[in-house]
């Protein structure tokens, strides 16, 4: 009887690495075109690992980010709040001496909140939320970081200097020379983080700077894509394929360590693909959307958007509008935490919606604003989308029938225009003006646009 009793007791012992709280992995691509991954329909760029992630998870067909360019999107994603509530409405200048140019220290982050729930928290990749030491990731809730702190970085190792894209990388507050192709380094660091913290809940914010400029692809990957005639697109495509390979490397690590099923994975781009030189000359493809990076049309803010959690979510698609704000609320709810009462999140816990437990749409209305009060706006309510660009007349589109925003219905449906303009006015009461100016190149672009708008 004794051997049988021992065997029974062994069966009652939980697995060594069992944990009830899910890991949280947020993967962000930088300047990725809406139609430049396989699961969105792309034919000339291979993304097999992202395609498998999409096949095993939920593809959100109306997925958005909070801004049409880099830093404001990241500020909203990491706080779970509209960035206009705390004045982070543009990219900060790279000013290490400035305590103003960065995400205000009054805001708490998802890393802060999950650390309180016993999570190990890590950042790998692009930060772009301020250059002063008070804005450093280790001061914003992260236990570990391996990062390019600015708005972009070179991809190949080279001589370092004080220029933003040539700064040394940052490992836990100390400079570290770049040793390899940057996307590969970020992939390796992400794998090491997941393996290092196996057995305890962790949060990893993996923010690739790929495929943001400079367009620098490994020569061997570039050579594989000779069928792409446009050399800029070929470089861009190769950069995406390297990013996809590194995402695949991380997913394989999660599989081999038994962590995949209980890891919530979010994937988005920080904005739409840039249309440099116009749609026909650009190296990105936002088909079938109008516009791209910097625009308040769909091409600027509607992005490839995936959610995967094999333990809870069945594969499929979800067609109601969702937004990167929702990552915060979703993660906190699944970790068993509660949001900061002084700074409640604007997002929604997506899990009941994605599982079908809730038939209600996650959001009644979504808002976008750039250049402060009186600047550029967009609002979506149901299938209605209103765009108002400064002093120009408001535009109205029915996204259910016109995803490309080709037919302005403002003149035909003035009552919808009035309703959405009123919604913007109500929402704007909870916002503030930008707390810092954009970088010089953006200020020049904005001034040029305003001059064109003048009658």
Report pLDDT for 214.
Answer: 96
Q: Residues 306, 381: one domain?
A: no
Q: Please give the pLDDT value at position 11.
A: 32
* C-alpha–C-alpha distance, residues 112 and 245, integer Å: 30
Q: Does residue 17 carry a pLDDT above 60?
A: no
DSSP-derived secondary structure letter, 102: B
88, 128, 212, 353: the catalytic one is 128
Residues 308 and 393 in one domain: no
pLDDT at res. 119: 98
Mean pLDDT, residues 376-405: 97
**Cut 0.95: pTM above it:** no
Residues paired with 123 in a beta bridge: 145, 205
**Among candidates 436, 67, 50, 39, which has minimal Cα distance to 210?**
50
User: What are the C-alpha distances in Å from 448 to residues 394, 451, 452, 453?
Assistant: 20, 5, 6, 9
User: What's the whole-number mean pLDDT along residues 412-426?
Assistant: 98
Q: Are 112 and 342 in contact (CB under 8 A)?
A: no
* 446 and 329 housed in the same domain: no
Verify that 238 and 128 share a domain, yes or no. Answer: yes
Phi, psi at residue 37, to the nearest 5°? -135, 150
Residues paired with residue 64 on neighbouring β-strands, in sequence order: 302, 323
Whether residue 313 is found in the same domain as residue 335:
yes
Are the CB atoms for 155 and 169 separated by under 8 Å?
no
Q: Is the pLDDT of residue 445 over 80?
A: no
Does 214 share its domain with 123? yes
Residues 328 and 381 in one domain: no
Higher pLDDT, 162 or 424: 424
For residue 329, count CB atoms less than 10 angstroms from its CB and return exposed for 0-12, middle for 13-18, buried for 19 or more: buried
CATH number at residue 441: 3.30.1120.10
Q: Which of 42, 70, 145, 191 is catalytic?
A: 70
Confidence of residue 279 (pLDDT cuts 50, 70, 90): low
- The lowest-confidence range among 2-6, 114-118, 356-360 is 2-6
Residue 128 is among the residues annotated as catalytic for this protein:
yes
**Last residue in a domain, options 308, 324, 355:** 355
Query: Per the structure, how many domains does the chain have?
Result: 2
pLDDT at 9 over 50: no
Beta strands in 233-323 (DSSP E): 263-269, 305-308, 316-318, 322-323
Could you tell me if 295 and 413 lie in one domain?
no
pLDDT in tens, 92-102: 999 999 999 99
Q: Is 10 inside any structural domain?
A: no
Q: Has residue 1 got a pLDDT over 80?
A: no
Which burial class, exposed, middle or buried, applies to 19 when counting CB atoms under 10 A from its CB (0-12, 13-18, 19+)?
middle
pLDDT digits (tens, 9 = 90+) for 191-245: 999 999 999 999 999 999 999 999 999 999 999 999 999 999 999 999 999 999 9
Q: pLDDT digits over 190-203, tens only?
A: 999 999 999 999 99
CATH number of the structural domain spanning residue 218: 3.40.720.10
In a domain, 162, yes or no: yes
- Does 294 share its domain with 380? no
pLDDT class for 371, splitting at 50, 70, 90?
very high
Does the residue 445 lie in any domain? yes
Burial class (CB in 10 A: 0-12, 13-18, 19+), 335: buried
Same domain? For 345 and 222 the reply is: yes
Judge whether 319 lies within some domain. Answer: yes
Same domain, 304 and 439: no
Query: Are 374 and 293 in a shared domain?
Result: no
Predicted confidence at residue 447, as pLDDT, reads 72
Residue 247 is assigned to a structural domain of this protein = yes
- 42 catalytic? Reply is no
Close Cβ partners of 355 (under 8 Å, ≥ 6 residues apart): 312, 313, 314
Work out the mean pLDDT of the chain and round it to a whole number.
93
pLDDT band, very low/low/confident/very high, at 10 (cuts 50, 70, 90): very low
- Residue 13 within a domain: no
Question: What pLDDT was estimated at residue 147?
Answer: 98
Mean pLDDT value across residues 148-152: 97
138 within a domain of the structure (yes/no): yes
The last residue of one of the domains, among 355, 384, 411, is 355
Position 224 in a domain: yes
Taking the C-alpha atoms of residue 372 and residue 370, their distance in angstroms, rounded to an integer, is 6
> Which of 333, 355, 377 finishes a domain?
355
Which residues form the domain of 63? 23-355
d(CA 347, CA 362): 9
Task: List phi, psi (to 5°) of 328.
Answer: -60, -55
């Amino acid at each position: 009887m004794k051997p049988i009793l021992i065997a029974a007791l062994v069966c009652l012992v939980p697995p060594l690495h069992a944990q009830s709280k899910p890991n949280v992995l947020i993967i962000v691509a930088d300047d990725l075109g809406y139609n430049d991954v396989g699961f969105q329909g792309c034919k000339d760029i291979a993304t097999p690992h992202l395609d498998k992630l999409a096949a095993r998870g939920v593809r959100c067909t109306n997925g958005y980010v909070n801004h049409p360019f880099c830093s404001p999107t990241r500020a909203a994603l990491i706080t779970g709040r509209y960035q206009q509530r705390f004045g982070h409405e543009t990219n900060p200048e790279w000013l290490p001496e400035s305590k103003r140019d960065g995400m205000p220290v009054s805001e708490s982050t998802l890393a802060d909140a999950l650390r309180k729930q016993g999570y190990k928290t890590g950042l790998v990749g692009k930060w772009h939320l301020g250059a002063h030491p008070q804005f450093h990731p280790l001061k914003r809730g992260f236990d570990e970081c391996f990062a390019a702190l600015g708005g972009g970085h070179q991809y190949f190792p080279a001589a370092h200097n004080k220029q933003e894209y040539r700064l040394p990388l940052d490992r836990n507050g100390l400079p570290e020379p770049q040793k390899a192709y940057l996307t590969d380094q970020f992939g390796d660091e992400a794998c090491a983080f997941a393996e290092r913290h196996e057995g305890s809940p962790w949060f990893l914010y993996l923010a690739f700077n790929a495929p943001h400029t400079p367009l620098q692809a490994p020569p061997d990957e570039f050579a594989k894509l000779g069928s792409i005639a446009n050399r800029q697109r070929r470089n861009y495509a190769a950069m995406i394929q390297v990013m996809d390979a590194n995402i695949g490397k991380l997913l394989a690590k999660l599989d081999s360590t038994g962590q995949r099923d209980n890891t919530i994975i979010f994937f988005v781009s920080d904005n739409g693909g840039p249309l440099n030189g116009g749609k026909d000359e650009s190296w990105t493809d936002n088909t079938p959307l109008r516009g791209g990076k910097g625009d308040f049309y769909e091409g600027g803010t509607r992005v490839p958007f995936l959610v995967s959690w094999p333990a809870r979510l069945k594969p499929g698609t979800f067609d109601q509008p969702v937004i990167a704000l929702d990552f915060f609320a979703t993660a906190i709810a699944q970790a068993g935490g509660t949001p900061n009462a002084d700074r409640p999140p604007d997002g929604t816990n997506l899990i009941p919606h994605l599982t079908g437990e809730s038939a209600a749409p996650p959001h009644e209305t979504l808002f976008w604003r750039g250049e402060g009060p009186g600047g550029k706006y967009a609002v979506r309510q149901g299938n209605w989308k209103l765009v108002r660009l400064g002093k120009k007349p408001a535009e109205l589109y029915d996204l259910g029938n016109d995803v490309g925003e080709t037919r302005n219905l403002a003149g035909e449906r003035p009552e919808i225009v009035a309703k959405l303009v009123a919604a913007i006015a109500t929402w704007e009461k909870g916002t503030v003006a930008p707390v810092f100016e954009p970088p010089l190149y953006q200020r020049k672009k904005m001034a040029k646009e305003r001059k064109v708008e003048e009658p």
